[in-house]
Amino acid sequence: MTVTLSETDVRTCEACWKAPVTAARVTEDGRDLLCEECAAGDYPPRVDLFPPFGVYGLSARRIEMGKHGSGSPKMPPDPGPPLPSPPPSPTPGRPPV
């Protein structure tokens, strides 16, 4: 299937953001530019590039975050050695290291 793209059309699939565009799906909101696999799987686009009330916004489908999507920040597994107690006094004329 050959899709004719204009100069302003995206060249990467709007659903997976990895494969080149090879298919177009016409919807009531416009046209979805997809790769062959995403078009066959009827995957929704993940981004609206030009929604009615903005230039760029996420679609209704939630994007799963990777390792940072699990709540508030946590301490690293190895925080390193403890700070010295009492802290060293600064040396005049030299920046602290």
**pLDDT tens digit at each of 97 positions of the chain:** 567 888 888 889 989 989 999 999 988 878 889 999 999 999 988 876 665 554 555 554 555 555 555 566 677 788 788 888 888 777 777 776 6
The phi and psi torsions of 4 (rounded to 5 degrees) equal: -90, 120
**Is this prediction's pTM over 0.85?**
no
Q: Which of 36, 32, 15 is nearest to 24 (CA)?
A: 32
Burial 65-88 (b: 16+ CB within 10 A, else e): eeeeeeeeeeeeeeeeeeeeeeee
What does the alpha-carbon distance between residue 79 and residue 21 come to, in Å, rounded to a whole number? 45
